[in-house]
Amino acid sequence: MSNSSAVSSTSIWTGGRSPFNVSYGKLMMWIFLLSDAFTFSSLLVGYGAIRFSYAGSTTPWPDPATVFNHFPFAHGLHLPLLFVSLMTLILIISSVTMVLAVEAGHRNSKSEVSKYMFLTILGGAAFLGCQAWEWSQFIHEGGRLDSNLFGFTDAAHEHAKHLKLFDPVHWTEADKISGPVPFASLFFIVTGFHGFHVLSGVVINIIIWINVMRGTYERRGHYEMVEKVGLYWHFVDLVWVFVFTFYYLI
């Protein structure tokens, strides 16, 4: 008996148990998320390469602060970063409610899991609503998949440089000239791809939430499905950290 533990600690790959000590479904979820991380990093690196290629160009890359400077009910004021920070806050809060649902699942507390799942779904829906508003503003101002009206004239650029928080924005349609097209198309592709992940996350969350309330996992004896959908939801939050950094901060 004395050397049986020594044998099992050195023979983790000889079969008989999982070297990863994790269920099949969770392992596959991790591998899927790894592949999804590669997809998103390729998109962001592609964004970086294209943005890099406009350095010193006659049609410079638009400054995100002059494009994404709207906030609901504060029309015409210069408010960069505030709205996306609110979206980030919503996603962080929905991430913490998700992880609280997973923790409640470890204690087999059906009522708490269902409460936190519901809050997570609300957070996801709020984020999607914010993104829909952001897209409609962007499209309204002239962002399209195949054109971009955020190439401001020199006068408008000069005006934009000296804008402070809450300043009224003065430029008109005449200030807008065609700018780099990839700025608009990459915005739609990357935030759209992320938004679609959020949408499918909300749908999966709703399915799991219904199962929780119907007692499916209580009968099964464990809430591992909540853990799996939690992994996906946190990944969506993780991707947003980098979309936020590269699209709005830099």
Partner 1 sequence: MSNNHTHTEGTYIPETYIPHAESHGTGSLWRTFWILLGITIVDFIIYFAFGASMARNIVFIAFGIIKAILIVGIFMHLNYEAKFLRWMIVLPAVIFLSYLVCFLLIEGNYVSLEKYF
Q: Which is nearer to partner 1, 214 or 222 (CB)?
A: 222
Is position 237 an interface residue for partner 1 (rule: CB under 8 A)?
Answer: yes
Quick one: which of 150, 136, 164 has its CA closest to 54? 150
Selected binder of partner 1 within 74, 139, 207, 249 (CB under 8 A) = 249
Q: How far is the CB of 157 from partner 1 (least distance, A)?
A: 14
- CB neighbours of residue 40 within 10 Å: 18
Selected binder of partner 1 within 56, 146, 154, 174 (CB under 8 A) = 56
Selected binder of partner 1 within 2, 3, 16, 162 (CB under 8 A) = 16
| Distance separating alpha carbons of residues 247 and 226, to the nearest angstrom | 31
* The three-state (H, E, C) secondary structure of the chain, written as one string: CCCHHHHHHHCCCCCCCCCCCCCHHHHHHHHHHHHHHHHHHHHHHHHHHHHHCCCCCCCCCCCHHHHCCCCCCCCCECCCCHHHHHHHHHHHHHHHHHHHHHHHHHCCCHHHHHHHHHHHHHHHHHHHHHHHHHHHHHHHCCECCCCECCEECHHHHHHHHCCCCCCECCCCHHHEECCCHHHHHHHHHHHHHHHHHHHHHHHHHHHHHHHHHCCHHHHHCCCHHHHHHHHHHHHHHHHHHHHHHHHHHC
Q: How far is the CB of 210 from partner 1 (least distance, A)?
A: 21
Q: How far is the CB of 198 from partner 1 (least distance, A)?
A: 15
Contact 65/159 with Cβ under 8 angstroms? no
Question: Could you tell me how many residues of this chain bind partner 1 (CB under 8 A)?
Answer: 63
Contact 111/212 with Cβ under 8 angstroms? no
Selected binder of partner 1 within 96, 126, 145, 181 (CB under 8 A) = 96
Is position 166 an interface residue for partner 1 (rule: CB under 8 A)?
Answer: no
Selected binder of partner 1 within 28, 39, 45, 129 (CB under 8 A) = 45
Q: Which is nearer to partner 1, 122 or 142 (CB)?
A: 122
Is position 28 an interface residue for partner 1 (rule: CB under 8 A)?
Answer: no
What residues between 204 and 223 interact with partner 1 by CB under 8 A? 222
Is position 201 an interface residue for partner 1 (rule: CB under 8 A)?
Answer: no
Q: How far is the CB of 217 from partner 1 (least distance, A)?
A: 12
Selected binder of partner 1 within 119, 145, 204, 238 (CB under 8 A) = 238
| Site residues, partner 1 (CB under 8 A) | 5, 8-9, 12, 15-24, 27, 30, 34, 37-38, 41-42, 45, 48-49, 52-57, 63, 81, 85, 88-89, 92-93, 95-96, 98-100, 102-103, 105-107, 165, 222, 224, 227, 230-231, 234-235, 237-238, 241-242, 244-245, 249-250
